[in-house]
Amino acid sequence: MKKIFLASTLILLLLSCKENKSENPPVIANAVDNAEKSDVSSYITKRGESNMVYEIYHELMENDKNLQNLDEKIRNTNKETEKITSQYTTIINKSETYYTDAANLAKSVSDSIMNHEIRKEIKANSEKYNLKIKHIKDLLSKIAENRVKLQDQYVVFQIKKTLPEIEKYQNAHPLKTDSLDNFIKKQNALLSELKSLK
């Protein structure tokens, strides 16, 4: 008898939970609800997690040509940065690898005079090359710095653009306490009933 009573009580509780889910429907349409429905798998963080800011921003972008153009400019600039800098970094990296390999190889020369002379020559040649490319390295550093600044600025812009949208979402889903209060009353009634059972 007690088992039947407990089972029916649990079913009643589960049904009342399901009823409460639909008690807070959105009052107005908003980008947050739409973002949950759309496929934004391309907007994930570096850790591979989805991000509500990116999802909402993507939803805003779908209906705003200016945002689409801005996003395209950012993406194209990033691609162009890779393309432009890679040709320089490849040459510089090969040259630096050469000097490292040459210095390591020079250590194997057993004659101390020849060892000293060749290492001195490698060092002089390396320093001469570094002086020659100093301006290029400075420019590459500036490009890398600007890339980070652009990314930071874009992230800040996306957050600022989506903050009003999360507020719209919150306003569209006012959280009323009626269903929670009623459910607590049901829980308390069940608790009282269970305490009175012998």
d(CA 118, CA 84): 35
Res 34: pLDDT: 62
- Domain membership flag for residue 106: yes
- Domain membership flag for residue 5: no
> Which residue segment(s) compose the domain that 151 sits in?
25-174
Q: Output the six-digit token pair for 106.
A: 């020079």
Res 119: pLDDT: 96
Predicted confidence pLDDT, tens digits, the chain (198 residues): 444 443 444 444 444 444 444 444 555 566 666 665 554 444 444 545 689 999 999 999 999 999 999 999 999 999 999 999 999 999 999 999 999 999 999 999 999 999 999 999 999 999 999 999 999 999 999 999 999 999 999 999 999 999 999 999 999 888 889 999 999 999 999 999 999 987
- Domain membership flag for residue 160: yes
- Domain membership flag for residue 101: yes
- Domain membership flag for residue 8: no
d(CA 26, CA 172): 5
- Domain membership flag for residue 100: yes
- Domain membership flag for residue 185: no
d(CA 120, CA 66): 58
Query: What's the total number of domains in the chain?
Result: 1
DSSP 3-state of 109: coil
- Domain membership flag for residue 31: yes
DSSP 3-state of 177: coil
Exposure letters 56-73 (e unless 16+ CB within 10 A, then b):
bbbbbbeeeeebeeebee
